[in-house]
Amino acid sequence: MSKLHQLLGLAMRAGKVVSGEERVLSAIRSGVAFLVLISDDAALNARKKISDKSKHYGVPLMTAGSRSELGRALGKAERVVVAVTDPGFAKAIRKRCE
């Protein structure tokens, strides 16, 4: 498991992650999302919807492996999109991905 997925798992255990398309869109709209991660095998419609919302609200968007890797990092079933709701975790994850 990569360092990115380890940090994402830690953020999940701390309660600083939301997953699922509608919950992530809600987090972006309400201003609590500091980073959005989307799987590289997400559907084009979902990718466009998340990308457009993220750009509009100024939330960084990154790809983070497959949906099964994202789900495994969170200790859940497959996940297509997740939002990090803590600025410290978001900064650490972005730093690891650069």
Check which CATH number belongs to the domain holding 93 and give it: 3.30.1330.30
Record the pTM. 0.92
pLDDT digits 0-9 by tens, 72-81: 989 888 999 9
Of the candidates 25, 6, 24, the residue with the CA atom closest to the CA atom of residue 75: 6
pLDDT digits 0-9 by tens, 30-76: 999 999 999 999 999 999 999 999 999 999 999 988 999 999 989 88
Higher pLDDT, 86 or 77: 86
* Rg of the chain, C-alpha, whole Å: 12
**Is pLDDT at 98 greater than 80 in this prediction?**
no
Q: What is the 3-state secondary structure (H, E, C) of the chain?
A: CCHHHHHHHHHHHCCCEEECHHHHHHHHHHCCCCEEEECCCCCHHHHHHHHHHHHHHCCCEEECCCHHHHHHHHCCCCCCEEEECCHHHHHHHHHHHC
**Is pLDDT at 1 greater than 70 in this prediction?**
no
Domain enclosing residue 40, as ranges:
3-97
Number of domains in the chain: 1
